[in-house]
Amino acid sequence: MTALRWAVSDGLVLTGRALAHWVRQPAQALVGLLFPVLLVVMFGYLLGGAMTVPGGGDYREFLLPGLFAMTMVFGVEATYAAVATDLARGVTDRFRSLPMASSAVLTGRAAADLLHAAAALAVMLACGLVVGWQPRGGLPAAAAAVGLLLLLRLALIAVGIHLALLLRRPESVVVLQILVWPLGFTSNAFVAPETMPGALATVAAWNPLSATVAASRELFGNPGWGGESFAAQHAPILAVMWPLLLIAVFGPLSVRRYRRLAG
């Protein structure tokens, strides 16, 4: 119990450190919060007029749950950049030399990034309400959808931490920025998989992001969440299983990689 209290206390200290950075550098945090809002304008108004929803319905209501999930995906870049920057500047090595719980560096970063994700999601939900999106499934279902979105973000935090500990170069974040968009467009975030060619439709249906998006649409009561594939019919289950699988794989890998860092 003493070791657990020590680990929790140290993790909270490093969570506070990350939050203090955002307070002192508000422009960076503000850009991260407002960029998804720009996507709402671009896809909802500039391109949305040409989009149709299978089964009918308003495209913006179809789009918003997809952008909620994309907001969680964009956060992997911030996680990677923060961890890699600490490594490059020797901050992580100094942490390792201090009498602190070794888990605190990882849990502190994860907690801070999850708080930032919750703030970004709150901004997107408010933006959705402004442009006419509504959660029509009731408050408990909406809360469950928010929980699934944050679970996806937690899984991607584990992925981002592991990649940063593996590559250890802040400039390599460009690789993630290039990969995020193909991940989003080969999902059901922007268009339904039924409108895609056969092989691409299968890839989109089984994309982990698609599970969270489809489950969120179902829970929010928004159009376009159905489909004939197994993945579409079992989206809520997959929306839990995919993130838990990513956490189970990349969480231990991150811990092992951190312990193997040169002192």
Query: Could you tell me what percent of the chain has a pLDDT over 70?
Result: 98
Q: What tokens appear for 10 in the block? A: 């140290």
Q: CA 216, CA 252: separation in Å to the nearest integer?
A: 28
8 Å CB contact between 83 and 110: no
Q: CA 96, CA 41: separation in Å to the nearest integer?
A: 44
8 Å CB contact between 71 and 120: yes
Burial 22-49 (b: 16+ CB within 10 A, else e): beeeeeebeebbeebbebbeebbeeebe
8 Å CB contact between 251 and 160: no
For the whole model, what pTM was predicted? 0.90
Tell me the pLDDT tens digit for each residue of 17-27: 888 888 887 77
Confidence of residue 1 (pLDDT cuts 50, 70, 90): low
What integer best gives the mean pLDDT of the chain?
Answer: 88
Number of residues that this document lists for the chain:
263
Tell me the pLDDT tens digit for each residue of 221-242: 998 877 778 888 899 999 999 9
Statement: residue 33 has pLDDT above 80: no
Three-point CA angle 185, 187, 190, nearest 5°: 60
Q: CA 208, CA 246: separation in Å to the nearest integer?
A: 10
Tell me the pLDDT tens digit for each residue of 48-70: 666 777 777 788 899 999 999 99
Tell me the HSE value of 43 on the side-chain side, using a 13 A CA sphere. Answer: 23
Alpha helix ranges (H) inside 89-207: 91-97, 104-130, 139-167, 173-185, 198-206
Tell me the pLDDT tens digit for each residue of 165-207: 998 888 888 888 888 888 888 999 998 888 888 888 899 999 9
